[in-house]
Structure 1
Amino acid sequence: MVNKLNKAFYNTVLSQTFSPCGNYIVVGDIYGVLSVFHLSKIVQPQTSLSPEELAPKNRVTVKEDFQINSLITAQNHIIVGGVGEIYAYLWKNLRNTKSAHPVWTIEIPDQKDAFDKPDVNCLLFVEESGHLYAGCGNNKIYVFNIETRRILKTLVKHTDYVHCITNNGDDLLSGGEDGVVNIWDIRSFKVTHKIEPFKDDKVSRANLGKWIGAVSANDDYVLCGGGPRLSMWHYRFLTNSTVFPIDDNGIHVAEIFNDKIFAGGRSKYFYQMSFVGDIISEIPTSAVTTYSAIHQEEPFLVLSIAGSSPKIDICSNFMYRNQQLSLY
């Protein structure tokens, strides 16, 4: 009982994803459990909600004490990145079956023994090509065909852990512990440009390190942060455009969304800002460190913020917290 209570109190959520229909959200914790919440009842309650209604609708254990580092939805599947392996579950099974089993798995290659298995820190699915990208703790990014699960390419330009990946058209952007943001052409799988924020005096924070924890992009800008301050760079010229004036001790979430910037990390707030750095909203967070923030506009507007806490903050207008979910 003590062990179970400790797990409940000290749990951490590293990843989240919405169901294809948008009515459910799944969070993955550091103990190998996928927790499924029925969002539509939470975001649009008819009355005040009980603690039971703010708890998971279903729980599925991938593996005991197996850290779930990354989650994405691809087609009708939820893809789970853990330690040394990637699992796929059917969404319909995950919603309703406590004993749901993966429909396929991928083992990350080139590992000699269990102690060397790398974390699958980030996942990306590109629907047009059917490619699944996995950024790992062995400094590599693997490109898989999602239908055959075979490796198409291994990208090896990082010299330390890969923490984050995103895509923008024919470009793939990756950030790592080495402090580098690599910009790849996914047609040739070659690095065409790179940004090294830790070398810029305006954003460098030597006391926090050079690691990049989050990266995002649109056609005009690249947004990135980690040890270096959250900053935006001109996509074409790779010069610094904006340094964001937020109080943090490391960035783990950063996203360009329409004409706004979302950001979070080791901070008591999750931020929404303008491109020039004006703070639009500061949302107090349950977690000391935010590791994941996802949002959707349909079938209803919702932002979900999670991290080093068993509590998940739900914001139905992106401006303040409306509900607080609990893993237990």
Structure 2
Amino acid sequence: MAAAAAAEASVDCRNWDEEAYRDSILQQRETLCRTVFRTAFVPSNPGNSTLNPDLIVTACSDGSIASYSISSCLGLGFGNARAAQNLLVAEPNCLIQGHDGPAYDVKFYGYGEDSLLLSCGDDGRIRGWKWKEISVFDVPMRGRNMQPVVNLVNPQHKGPWGALSPIPENNAIAVDTLGGSVFAAAGDSSAYCWDLEKCKIKMVFKGHSDYLHCIVARTSRSQIITGSEDGTVRIWDCKSGKCIRRIDPGNDMNLKDSRPYISCIALDESESWLACGSGRSLSLWNLAACECVSRISTNASIQDVLFDSNQILAVGAEPLLSRFNMSGDIVSQIQCAPQSAFSASLHSSGVVAVSGYGALVDIISQFGSHLCTFRCRGL
């Protein structure tokens, strides 16, 4: 009784701030509902690819583009993936307003300090900043409106009586450093090839019947590969702009999904194998023969996929990082912090970053242990 009385006495209702309390609750809910759609490890200078990663860049649903130091997160004691709700918010090295609306993808164009940091988003823009200018800040830079050196906008389409359509969003980008090009998977069912030097569209790839979710560049053959809401994957020739091959993963699928959309695609290092996420199915294709060599049924929808040598990493609408061999057998499954993971990024050292719902980023070592887990700060 005495302890209860003491606790009641410690609460001073005379200083209660109802508005501040409401704001704190709304801010907490907003933080938990934000999503990191994509991460990218900062590329090392040529010759230093074996070094462990330290910096990672995130693209978030509030339109922010931010960079974080993994070593700083380790020093702050982050790393309890099981207690994701109680994770502290990490302080970014740099936090900028990248887009008006969600930022869906982020890529580096080039290597080292001379590289460009590119992002795309729901506003239909591709924006780029000089990484050298972003990385020079030794103290956290938050809320700064850095002007991009690249600002590309998707074209609007004319309708009846000269009306213009909304600017189609960009859901993903791919880069071709040698060709000086950036490719965008857009919401108007088209893919765009941009000349970065001239900031003009070089080519438009038309043929899909619904908007595009994903895109990769097959630079060794001057091709791009796109995945669409229409359930097909198409391979395009970058010289002619024509579709040279169509892959339909849903043709022989015996699943509950009716022609599920293509959520993600990935090429291996040789650019001979294509992994394709479609609903609750992950398929592996030999591009030379245009043949599906293995198919994996999963418990949840696949949302991102990538190759790690002769293995495939996949994440989706469940808190798992799954690793498969080329025959479709499960090698390992690691519990992750995001309840729904939208991105898996691989560093050359073998470290993997998994990000997704709740603005969470989980850094996993090449041995499968959690190096650190942190929550990204919002604008």
Instruction: Answer whether contact 2:273 2:284 (CA < 8 A) is retained.
Output: yes
1:255-299 deviation line (CA, Å, top 9, x unaligned): 2221110111112311111111221221212222211111112xx
In the alignment, what sits opposite 1:177? 229
Name the CA distance, whole Å, in 1 between partners of 2:128 and 2:64: 14
Distance 1:86 1:220, change over 3 A: closer
Give, in angstroms, the shift of residue 201 of structure 1. 2.8
The structure with more radius of gyration: 2
Matched, 1:11 2:34: yes
Letter in 2 for 1:9: L
Q: Which region of structure 1 is more displaced relative to structure 2, 280-289 or 69-78?
A: 280-289
Matched, 1:60 2:96: yes
In the alignment, what sits opposite 2:69? 38
Matched, 1:287 2:338: yes
SS for the counterpart of 1:8 is helix
Matched, 1:102 2:142: no
Q: Which region of structure 1 is more displaced relative to structure 2, 46-55 or 229-238?
A: 46-55
Give, in angstroms, the shift of residue 25 of structure 1. 0.9
Matched, 1:80 2:119: yes
Greater RCO (CA < 8 Å, at least 6 residues apart):
2
Matched, 1:89 2:129: yes
Name the CA distance, whole Å, in 2 between partners of 1:287 and 1:67: 18
TM-score by length of 1: 0.89
1:222-260 deviation line (CA, Å, top 9, x unaligned): 210122511112222322211124322x21111222111
SS for the counterpart of 1:244 is strand
Task: Choose from 115, 125, 128 the match for 2:175.
Answer: 125
Aligned alpha-carbon RMSD (Å): 2.4
In the alignment, what sits opposite 2:189? 139
In the alignment, what sits opposite 1:325? 374
Instruction: Answer whether contact 1:211 1:228 (CA < 8 A) is retained.
Output: no
Give, in angstroms, the shift of residue 155 of structure 1. 0.5
Name the CA distance, whole Å, in 2 between partners of 1:137 and 1:289: 23
Name the CA distance, whole Å, in 2 between partners of 1:201 and 1:270: 23
TM-score by length of 2: 0.78
Letter in 2 for 1:34: I
SS for the counterpart of 1:262 is strand
Name the CA distance, whole Å, in 2 between partners of 1:256 and 1:236: 18
Instruction: Answer whether contact 2:264 2:305 (CA < 8 A) is retained.
Output: yes
Name the CA distance, whole Å, in 2 between partners of 1:85 and 1:193: 28
1:4-61 deviation line (CA, Å, top 9, x unaligned): 322211111111222233531111111111221013444xx57845977944233212
Give, in angstroms, the shift of residue 136 of structure 1. 0.7
SS for the counterpart of 2:240 is coil
Query: How many equivalent residue pairs?
Result: 320
Name the CA distance, whole Å, in 1 between partners of 2:272 and 2:211: 27
Matched, 1:302 2:351: yes
Distance 1:177 1:287, change over 3 A: same
Q: How does 1:176-195 map to 2 (within 5 A)?
A: 176-195=228-247
Q: Which region of structure 1 is more displaced relative to structure 2, 108-117 or 74-83?
A: 108-117
Letter in 1 for 2:41: F
Give, in angstroms, the shift of residue 172 of structure 1. 1.4
Name the CA distance, whole Å, in 1 between partners of 2:295 and 2:150: 43
Instruction: Answer whether contact 1:28 1:70 (CA < 8 A) is retained.
Output: yes
Instruction: Answer whether contact 1:136 1:161 (CA < 8 A) is retained.
Output: yes
Q: Which region of structure 1 is more displaced relative to structure 2, 21-30 or 259-268?
A: 21-30
Name the CA distance, whole Å, in 2 between partners of 1:132 and 1:118: 16
Tell me, which stretches of 5 or more residues in structure 2 are unaligned?
1-22, 45-52, 80-86
Name the CA distance, whole Å, in 1 between partners of 2:343 and 2:130: 22
Task: Choose from 196, 200, 206 the match for 1:156.
Answer: 206
Name the CA distance, whole Å, in 1 between partners of 2:154 and 2:282: 31
Instruction: Answer whether contact 1:282 1:319 (CA < 8 A) is retained.
Output: no
Over the matched positions of the two proteins, sequence identity in percent amounts to 22
Give, in angstroms, the shift of residue 111 of structure 1. 4.6
SS for the counterpart of 1:9 is helix
Q: How does 1:14-25 map to 2 (within 5 A)?
A: 14-21=37-44, 23-25=54-56
Name the CA distance, whole Å, in 2 between partners of 1:46 and 1:110: 47
SS for the counterpart of 2:103 is coil
Distance 1:37 1:77, change over 3 A: same
Name the CA distance, whole Å, in 2 between partners of 1:54 and 1:7: 16
